[in-house]
Structure 1
């Protein structure tokens, strides 16, 4: 469990640097366009790829730090133990099935892109669209890795120390 947590944490912290790169690349694109009157399609596309990577690769990290949007009309009124049950069942009934469905639904799409060595349709664009599309699968792996950690943590809290109920 600790190894998975460290992996998710490392990925999240590493991916956070992509936001700085995106800002610098966007600045470069703007400067090139408005000062030097030239385009930079590859840099612009790379900023978009990094944007996608931030959201897909950091999904598990965001789950780990409870940063996903939650409609907690009822959740906040539950006891700590009740919240643990909601989180436990949410992993089992929503997180894993949705992640598996996304994997199933996108696998052929990603595989076809790799098979054809899909490239950008833009002149001067990047030659590895297939890597960007693979982020769909990375999203599900990221979520399921952290989901496993959450299930183990919540199982310990719910089934091994039912009297405490603490996080």
Structure 2
């Protein structure tokens, strides 16, 4: 489980680096657009693709640090044992099955994009759209691994 947690940690570092690149790119794009009346469709699409990386790879990192969305109003008042039971149930019956479903559905989505050599519909847009689409199943693989790590930790603590 340490390997999973370490992988998720470095995935979070990578995501933070991508966020810095995205901020710099947005500043550059806005500067070029407003001061020089110029711009690039490809750069704007790259911004969206980097945003995809941040969101999709940030999911597992957020779960690792228990910063994911839940009803904290109730959760914070529960005992540690109840919290562990809720975490186990949510991992087994929600996170993992939902992630498997997303992976199953998205693989055909990625393969179709690859087979069609899908490109941006905008003139001057980015090519190889399947690359960004492939982040979808990959990110949910990372989420499953992190859920298993959390599940293992909660299960050991239960005993």
- TMscore range, shorter length: over 0.9
Q: How does 1:101-112 map to 2 (within 5 A)?
A: 101-112=101-112
1:81 to partner: Cα distance: 0.7
**Superposed structure 1 runs of 4+ greater than 2 Å apart:** 72-77
- Map of 1:52 onto structure 2: 52
In the alignment, the residues of structure 1 paired with residue 10 and residue 144 of structure 2 have an alpha-carbon distance, to the nearest angstrom, of 16
Contact 1:41 1:122 in 2 (8 A): yes
- Map of 2:97 onto structure 1: 97
1:67 to partner: Cα distance: 1.0
Cα RMSD for the two superposed structures = 1.2
1:58 to partner: Cα distance: 1.6
- Map of 1:65 onto structure 2: 65
Per-residue CA shift, 1:127-166, capped at 9, x if unaligned? 121111112112211210101111111111112xxxxxxx
- Map of 2:82 onto structure 1: 82
Structure 2: gaps (5+ residues): none
Contact 1:32 1:40 in 2 (8 A): no
- Whether 2:19 is the aligned partner of 1:19: answer yes
In the alignment, the residues of structure 2 paired with residue 76 and residue 15 of structure 1 have an alpha-carbon distance, to the nearest angstrom, of 28
- Map of 1:127 onto structure 2: 127
Between stretches 13-22 and 91-100, larger displacement belongs to 13-22
How many residues are matched? 159
